């Protein structure tokens, strides 16, 4: 028998065969672009730890979403930065709050974009935690009532997909119930189902000014040492009515994405979070890596791991590369 009988390099002989055998390809359809929205007029405030990512006032966001739509990106996710914060995050469920107004304006401007809203009170509370605080405790059950209220105001304003990111127990069921009761049974829920307590959220907390003022998020977000637990979280959220489940962060948790993908039949999303973005940008600015190639390799790896949807600050840059 001649050696070697298998020469795998035959399948890498030229561009055509590479294209023919490629198992995973990234599409613009897979991308979701995050937006930070603040009060004021004419605000385009670049986030220092996230070059190329801005806080926009609503009037500026309207121009930006047209570009997102033009690039063929199907969806955006909105984060609100209110002027006023208090202990229970009441601006979060103000029907005329920053996000509720932004949803209406964006729907008018770019009706083809699916609007996802992050549902969590941390950007709206003065203590920066994702729930109602008593002493040093983050209370679960009072918090899910607020989340349901917040989700409803988003749906009323025209949000297509509600994305709870708080990691309280039972919040998907509470939100589903509130939506259904108010005739929003067509509004989808994308739950941040396996969300880990991660240091990769650092730049986001600068962007959204949502750093916890005491303690950390380890009593509600998941321990990075756990994998089985992610399945319990994901399966419970599906049982409670989640249409899409998310794993977050993405890069240090590719094994979790794959495990979830193998286990469930609903679409899986992954959040390529702020710190993952900033690391690439910083290294690229130093000419230590080829930023564009690394970006595409990372996004492909998240898809290959099993995520159909990728929330990423690279959405536009990647869409441009894919268009070429
Ligand atoms: C909570 C929320 C966070 C992120 C998305 N939703 C921050 C946190 O849990 O502290 C982080 C996203 C990122 O780092 O890009 N509202």
C-beta separation of 86 from 127 below 8 A = no
Site to substitute for ligand 1 among 165, 166, 197, 248, most atoms within 8 A of C-beta: 165
Alpha carbon 54 to its chain's center:
16
Atom of ligand 1 nearest to the CA of 195: 9
pLDDT at 3: 79
DSSP letters for 257-307: HHHHHHH-SS-EEEEE-HHHHHHHHHHHHTTSS-HHHHHHHHHHHHHHHT-
Query: What CA dihedral angle connects 268, 272, 273 and 277, to 10 degrees?
Result: -170
Cβ 274 under 6 angstroms from ligand 1 = yes
Give just the sign of the alpha carbon dihedral 15, 21, 23, 25: positive
pLDDT at 209: 87
Atom of ligand 1 nearest to the CA of 221: 9
Domain 24-220+227-323 fold? TIM Barrel (3.20.20)
For the question of whether the overall pTM of this predicted structure is more than 0.95, the answer is: yes
Atom of ligand 1 nearest to the CA of 200: 14
**CA-based angle 179:205:26, to the nearest 5?**
70
Cβ 201 under 6 angstroms from ligand 1 = yes
Domain-wise residue ranges, the chain:
24-220+227-323
pLDDT at 2: 74
CA distance 37 to 47: 12
pLDDT at 320: 98
Cβ 178 under 6 angstroms from ligand 1 = no
User: CA of 278: how far to CAs of 13, 145, 177, 202, in Å?
Assistant: 36, 34, 38, 10
Cβ 207 under 6 angstroms from ligand 1 = no
Smallest CA separation from ligand 1 atom 2, residue: 165
Smallest CA separation from ligand 1 atom 11, residue: 201
Distance 49 CA to ligand 1 centre (A): 15
* Contacts of 211-215 spanning 24+ positions with Cβ under 8 A: 211/128, 212/122, 212/127, 212/128, 212/129, 213/126, 213/127, 213/128, 213/129, 214/127, 214/136, 215/129, 215/136
Cβ 99 under 6 angstroms from ligand 1 = no
Known catalytic residues are: 195, 248
Tens digit of each residue's pLDDT, the chain (324 residues): 777 888 999 999 999 999 999 999 999 999 999 999 999 999 999 999 999 999 999 999 999 999 999 999 999 999 999 999 999 999 999 999 999 999 999 999 999 999 999 999 999 999 999 999 999 999 999 999 999 999 999 999 999 999 999 999 999 999 999 999 999 999 999 999 999 999 999 999 989 989 999 999 999 999 999 999 999 999 999 999 999 999 999 999 999 999 999 999 999 999 999 999 999 999 999 999 999 999 999 999 999 999 999 999 999 999 999 998
Backbone angles phi, psi at 56, to 5 degrees: -115, 145
Cβ 206 under 6 angstroms from ligand 1 = no
Cβ 312 under 6 angstroms from ligand 1 = no
């Amino acid at each position: 028998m001649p050696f070697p009988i298998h020469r795998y390099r035959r399948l890498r002989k030229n561009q055509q065969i590479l294209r023919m055998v490629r198992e995973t390809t990234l599409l613009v359809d897979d991308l979701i672009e995050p937006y930070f929205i603040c009060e004021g007029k004419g605000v385009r405030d670049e986030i220092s730890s996230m070059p190329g990512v801005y806080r926009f006032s609503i009037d500026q966001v309207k121009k930006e979403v047209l570009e997102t739509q033009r690039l063929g990106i199907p969806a955006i996710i909105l984060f609100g930065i209110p002027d006023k914060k208090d202990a229970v995050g009441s601006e979060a469920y103000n029907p005329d709050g920053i996000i509720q107004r932004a949803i209406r304006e964006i729907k008018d401007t770019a009706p083809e974009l699916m609007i996802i809203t992050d549902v969590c009170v941390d950007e709206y509370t003065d203590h920066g935690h994702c729930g109602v605080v008593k002493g040093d405790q983050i209370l679960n059950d009072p918090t899910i009532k607020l989340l349901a209220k917040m989700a409803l105001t988003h749906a009323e304003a025209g949000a297509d997909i509600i994305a709870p990111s708080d990691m309280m127990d039972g919040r998907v069921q509470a939100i589903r119930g509130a939506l259904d009761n108010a005739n929003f049974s067509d509004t989808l829920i994308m739950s941040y189902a396996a969300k880990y307590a991660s240091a990769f959220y650092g730049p986001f907390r600068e962007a959204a000014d949502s750093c916890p003022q005491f303690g950390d998020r380890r009593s509600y977000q998941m321990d990075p040492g756990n994998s089985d637990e992610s399945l319990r979280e994901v399966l419970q959220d599906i049982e409670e009515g989640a249409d899409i489940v998310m794993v977050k962060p993405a890069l240090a948790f590719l094994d979790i994405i794959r495990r979830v993908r193998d286990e469930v039949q609903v679409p899986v999303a992954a959040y390529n979070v702020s710190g993952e973005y900033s690391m690439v940008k910083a290294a690229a600015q130093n000419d230590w890596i080829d930023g564009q190639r690394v970006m595409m390799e990372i996004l492909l790896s998240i898809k290959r791991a099993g995520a159909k949807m990728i929330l990423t600050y690279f959405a536009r840059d990647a869409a441009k590369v894919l268009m070429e």
